[in-house]
Amino acid sequence: MSGMAALLAGLGMVALGFGLLTALLAILQPFADPIWIVGNLVVGVVLLAAAAFMSLDALRERVQSGATRRAGRYGSSAILGAVFGIAIAVLLAFLSVRHSHRFDVSEDGVHTLSQQTTDLLAKLDQDVQITAFFAASEAPPVRDLLDRYVYAGKADGKERVELSFVDPNEAPGMVEELGLTTEDLARGIVRISLASGEATTLSDFSESGITNALLKLAKSKDKKVYFLAGHNERGFEPGPNDQPEPIPGQPPASKSPYAAGPDTFGRAAEALVNETYRIESLLLATLPDVPADAAAVVIAGPTRMFLEPELAALARYVEGGGALFVGLDPRAQTNLYALLQGFGVKLGDDVVVDRALAIFGQATTPYGAEYDEQHEITRLLTEPTVFPMVRSVELDPAAAADFSVLVRTGRESWAERDLDAWRENGRAEYSESDLLGPVPIAVAGTVRRASTEAAEPADVPAEPKAGRLVVFGDSDFASNEYLGTASNRDLFVNAINWLAGEVESISLRPNVSRASTFQMSQDQFRFLQYVSLLVVPEAIAVVGVLVWWSRRHAKRSS
């Protein structure tokens, strides 16, 4: 075969080969247009038939010569080799589908489920069924995330998580049976159910939303966290002017149930809700004791005095097995100090200064540089935390034997205690009266009753439950302005989880990429798929055939 027939044969083989390859890919992942597949196959067959028709005389002469038998042997070997190569490739593709392994090369691991999610899936004692109701064109972005749950849910060769996608237009009976409305299906909806029959639906298609839904199903009931009020604490409930202003040309933003001001705890409250806690405000002065259903009580930055009955109620709550979170800013005008000192925790009348390890060179906004690697709250933290205007928190070894320091500032920091002189001259300098770093700024520990009542007659008297206490020398670190900075959110949520006894929930939250992204529509994404996977490779193959044919033709001409 020579001349134009060879060129047509080469182009025909390229078209036929890419048609068959695209058909195979369409079976594994249905994205290819049938017109592209059929067009390649038809063009390939036509070009090969034309090449064969133009070379009938040459083929007849080769059949009558001895070279045909040698060519037949070589050709048979080549065909068998190609068949075996294709079989091996198909087998490898089959094995890769059945025994897949994922690699995440992104800097922040944004394509990998967080440790919290993988730990939860590993501890599930029931199979999980995830049903996603999406139109076929809208499913790929959600499928990518849900596939990670299926992959992470594999244990002992069994898939604990089963995933299925349903097009609402093709399954009206299922939609009606589950009571899904048109509004629910407008953006798509995901339904998660356990083998026990418990189920929930969600429209938050993020890892945190899906994982929190699993947590809600796995837990017997939500736990309640109270935020103390009445002493000018940082609140979480929005005020009349605490809503985002409308943006011209855009629909009004939906009202947030949490405060949006920079000094409030709205985002902290939202973070706890995402961990399946229920949150409420607590005006303790109106009650004789802390409510019995309190999993934890948060005292965030009070600046006013507590009543003596309130202090007594808080002491009874902690000594009776309760859990208390306290964040006190420097020089806060409150009378909580005596209560905390009774538990062995002393807050210094000072401000930590660190000129070497502080955010943007602001010496009074130091980083938390050292963590207790053994404590459940901080053992998984790998990034620093930021504390604007923080005071020292020290322990009395005799009274706080079951406490440990969670966070310390840098080695070149100190706690400035001559605050009056600092205010007068505007400059802080280390002196012998100051506390040299690393300065402890957060502690945690357990508190037991100072004295127990006489046990009732019984074979084995019940041991009273130990209370839990976490104290920070700052409350700004968990405010709306700083909660999303560094690992502040993880530290705050981990502290509440430890207080509430949810140690298995203590982990890092899902990774968030800091890189900018480019949003593509479904049509743009399909166009990019076609160009990169089909058009460009076939164009390269066509150019290769043309180069081969031109060189061959040039040699024969010379």
Cα(163)–Cα(154) distance, integer angstroms: 12
Give the up-direction half-sphere exposure of residue 320: CA atoms within 13 A in the CB hemisphere.
13
Q: Which of 83, 14, 86 is nearest to 48 (CA)?
A: 14
pLDDT at 453: 45
pLDDT at 254: 47
pLDDT at 253: 46
pLDDT at 316: 95
CA distance readout (Å), 524 to 32, 250, 518, 528, 531: 14, 24, 11, 6, 11
pLDDT at 535: 80
- The residue ranges of every structural domain in the chain are 4-101+520-557, 115-215, 223-241+256-350+389-407+440-449+465-505
Cα(143)–Cα(334) distance, integer angstroms: 52
509: left (phi > 0), else alpha (psi -120 to 50), else beta?
beta
Cα(402)–Cα(468) distance, integer angstroms: 10
Q: Which of 540, 507, 504 is nearest to 123 (CA)?
A: 504
What stretch of H or E contains 176?
helix 172-178
Architecture of the CATH domain 115-215: 3-Layer(aba) Sandwich (3.40)
Answer whether 115-215 and 223-241+256-350+389-407+440-449+465-505 agree in fold: no
Give the up-direction half-sphere exposure of residue 37: CA atoms within 13 A in the CB hemisphere.
13
Q: What's the count of helices (H) and strands (E) in the chain, helices before strands?
A: 16, 21
Q: Which of 382, 353, 355 is nearest to 369 (CA)?
A: 382
Omega before 440 cis (within 30°)? no
* Cβ contact 403:395 at 8 Å: yes
* Cβ contact 444:377 at 8 Å: yes
- Backbone torsions φ then ψ of 491, nearest 5 degrees: -65, -45
| CB neighbour list of residue 526: distance below 8 Å, 6 or more residues apart | 31
* Cβ contact 445:405 at 8 Å: no
**Rg of the chain's alpha carbons, rounded to an integer?**
34
* Cβ contact 366:354 at 8 Å: yes
pLDDT at 372: 93
* Cβ contact 277:295 at 8 Å: yes
For the chain, report the end-to-end CA distance as a whole number of angstroms: 18
Paired strand residues for 138: none
pLDDT at 300: 96
Cα(449)–Cα(432) distance, integer angstroms: 37
**Segments of the chain scoring below 50 in pLDDT:** 250-254, 451-458, 460, 514-517
- Backbone torsions φ then ψ of 93, nearest 5 degrees: -65, -40
46: left (phi > 0), else alpha (psi -120 to 50), else beta?
alpha
CATH code at 223-241+256-350+389-407+440-449+465-505: 3.40.50
pLDDT at 468: 95
Cα(458)–Cα(475) distance, integer angstroms: 45
pLDDT in tens, 292-336: 999 999 999 999 999 999 999 999 999 999 999 999 999 999 999
